Structure 1
Amino acid sequence: MRAVTVIPGVPESLRLRDVPKPSPGKGQALLKPIRVGICGTDKEIIEGKYGKAPEGSEYLILGHEAVASVAELGDGVDNVSVGDIVVPTVRRPFNCDLPVDFCPVGHYLEHGIWGLHGHAAEYSVTDARYLVKVPKDLLDVAVLTEPLSVVEKGIDMGLRIGQARFDWKPRTALVLGAGPVGLLATMVLRLMGISTVTTATRPPESLKAKLVLELGGKYVDSAVERVTGEFDIVVEATGSPQVAIEGLNHLAPNGVYVLLGVYPSGGSMSEVGGLMTSMVLNNKVIVGSVNAGIKHFEMALEHLRRAKEEFNNWPLKLITKRATLENYQEAYTWTHDDIKTVLEINPA
């Protein structure tokens, strides 16, 4: 079978290979991926900055954002059936008795990222316990479930922490960044009825700005205009340390700051002392989310359903580029105007 692969640690080793078709073992499911989403993590792996091949393999099959059909079942699987449409979660624990998305670094493997082959292939295999069924009417947007699950977890944890202190009812939100994660965060907040401002460095006539407006949010082009005011929730979705630090200035007393990125070293630290003092004196909270479990995958599917109904199939508009295995390299090139690229593997 064909699979999109890299050699971890070797920059620009992206290749389409013929590899052995996997077989499901006990408790596993053989999947026939329908489409796979591409994200910044894939870019870092391709650049040789991250990633680990499975034990005994020189290459890693990419693809951690996937929607697939169940092709075959190993012994002992009773939570899914052949023909079901599913999304697989990403992490698999070892030496960890916590929920898998709370296991510390070094105690999990990740499909398509760290130690487990991913789903950018004609077939893939995974532990069936970590599959989430997808209603057929969400098949067209279900590839967004994984990145949306990370958003769901971050906002859900933030709300729970805020409400644990007192009867906290957030009314305003600021989203920093209008890539796929920032736009999905805007979608979730608007579905919750929270007044939301989203900011990015794209002009008001850009598709990203228009998508914010379609949700009833306000868009600010941060290249020419500064955001003013304080917000009950601030969601950081750029992955920029400097933007993340500056965003703390906009967090209201008792507010919650949600970090949805992995941040490289760098950024000015000159104002951190004052910002931390403000955090302490005003009972502010910071939470982070980069992975999610089944609960937040299910929440993501419900919000995708609602967004399709309430915002005129809005989630589908996030998919701005499609490629196939025949022209797979196009899926792994990035421009400023792309939002979500998907690789069509076995169209349903």
Structure 2
Amino acid sequence: MKAITVEPHKPETARLEDIPEPDASGGSVLVEAIAVGVCGTDVEIVEGKYGWPPPGKTRLVLGHESLGRVVDAGPSGTFQKGDLVVGIVRRPDPVPCPNCAVGEWDMCRNGRYTERGIKEIDGFMSERWRTEPEYAMKVDRSLGLLGVLLEPTTVVAKAWEQVFAVGQRALWEPQTVLVTGAGPIGLLAALVGKQHGLDVHVLDRAEVGPKPELVRALGATYHTGSVAAVGFEPDIIMECTGVGQIIHDAVKGIGSGGVVCLTGVGSGGSAVSSAVADVAAAAVLKNIVVVGSVNANKRHWYKAGQVLARADRAWLSRLITRREPPAEFMRALQKEPNDIKVVIQFAQE
């Protein structure tokens, strides 16, 4: 069967190649791939900046944002042939640490977790893949191809859970949220904010194109420029860019008692001690909290499924701006000006 593979930490080694059919040791549920979403992590792995192959191998099958159709449900009785499913990405470490032991592998404390398509387990960019039934999630059939958005939605489902958990340290009645960055994570974060009944604002540098249109169609307010220029101090800031200057501005611009949640990973450049001191002073004097959030456990996958099930299908469909066949996977990895979410499509939904 065909798969998109790469030799981690070696640029220009990604290719579409023939690999053996997935072995039953990978799980009792056999799945035919429909689509796999592309994100910045995939680009970094292909560029040689990240990633680990499975033990004893030199190459890694890419892809962690999956959608597939069950071909063989196996003996568990959890699924039926034809079910649409996605594969959970992270696996707990083998020790396990206290968090992994209670199913919170997203909060792994010793770093020995593994991740499909990223760290020591083959991913989902192959014509067929296997998974253990406990690491598969059934997708609402009415979503069709939109089910490929489930994995990125888990990221924001966890982020919002973290925000509300932290906010309960004191009397807190948030009304406004500013989302910085209108990529897939930012737009999905805005969607969840609207589902919570908040006044949602989104800040991005794009002045035209699908991003401002999607924000307005959601019933949210779109801004360009700086955090300071939005004209108010939000109760919540969902930071989805990873840009150092925007993080700095978010901490200084959040309202008193507010929560800044960092979901973006990037490079902030060299830190200036006076700027760090300014941020620290803002955090202290305004009683704010800055919390980082990454990955998701099974509870967040369930919550993400609820988010997508409640969402307007027409709006969700506009997030997928490009579909590419496996043979054109390198084109899928190259961002175009109006791209939001690009998927590699293996089969019809």
Q: State the TM bucket, normalised to the shorter chain.
A: over 0.9
**Structure 1 CA distance for aligned equivalents of residues 74 and 124 of structure 2:** 18
**Structure 1 CA distance for aligned equivalents of residues 127 and 233 of structure 2:** 48
Matched, 1:245 2:248: yes
Structure 1 gap ranges (5+): none
Residue 232 of structure 1 corresponds to which residue in structure 2?
A: 235
**Structure 2 CA distance for aligned equivalents of residues 297 and 82 of structure 1:** 21
Equivalent position SS for 1:17: strand
Residue 85 of structure 2 corresponds to which residue in structure 1?
A: 86
Residue 343 of structure 2 corresponds to which residue in structure 1?
A: 342
Residue 68 of structure 1 corresponds to which residue in structure 2?
A: 68
**Structure 1 CA distance for aligned equivalents of residues 328 and 298 of structure 2:** 32
Shift of 1:14: 1.4
1:244-323 correspondence runs (5 A): 244-264=247-267, 266-269=269-272, 270-308=274-312, 313-323=314-324
Contact 1:228 1:250 in 2 (8 A): no
Equivalent position SS for 1:271: helix
Call closer, same or farther: CA 1:209–1:49 in 2, change over 3 Å: same
**Structure 1 CA distance for aligned equivalents of residues 308 and 244 of structure 2:** 30
Please point out which of 107, 132, 144 is paired with 1:139: 144
TM-superposition CA deviations, 1:84-143 (whole Å, max 9, x none): 211111101122242111113522110001101000110112222111111111123111
Equivalent position SS for 1:338: coil
Residue 6 of structure 1 corresponds to which residue in structure 2?
A: 6
State the TM-score, normalized to the length of structure 1.
0.93
**Structure 1 CA distance for aligned equivalents of residues 4 and 26 of structure 2:** 26
**Structure 2 CA distance for aligned equivalents of residues 225 and 150 of structure 1:** 26
Please point out which of 144, 161, 166 is paired with 1:156: 161
Call closer, same or farther: CA 1:169–1:28 in 2, change over 3 Å: farther
Structure 2 gap ranges (5+): none
Shift of 1:57: 1.5
**Structure 1 CA distance for aligned equivalents of residues 227 and 259 of structure 2:** 27
**Structure 2 CA distance for aligned equivalents of residues 236 and 57 of structure 1:** 37
The structure where strand makes up a greater share of residues is: 1
State the TM-score, normalized to the length of structure 2.
0.93
TM-superposition CA deviations, 1:320-345 (whole Å, max 9, x none): 01011233322121123210000111
My pick for the range that moved more, 277-286 or 176-185, is 277-286
Shift of 1:31: 1.8
Call closer, same or farther: CA 1:48–1:319 in 2, change over 3 Å: same
Aligned length: 342
**Structure 2 CA distance for aligned equivalents of residues 27 and 328 of structure 1:** 26
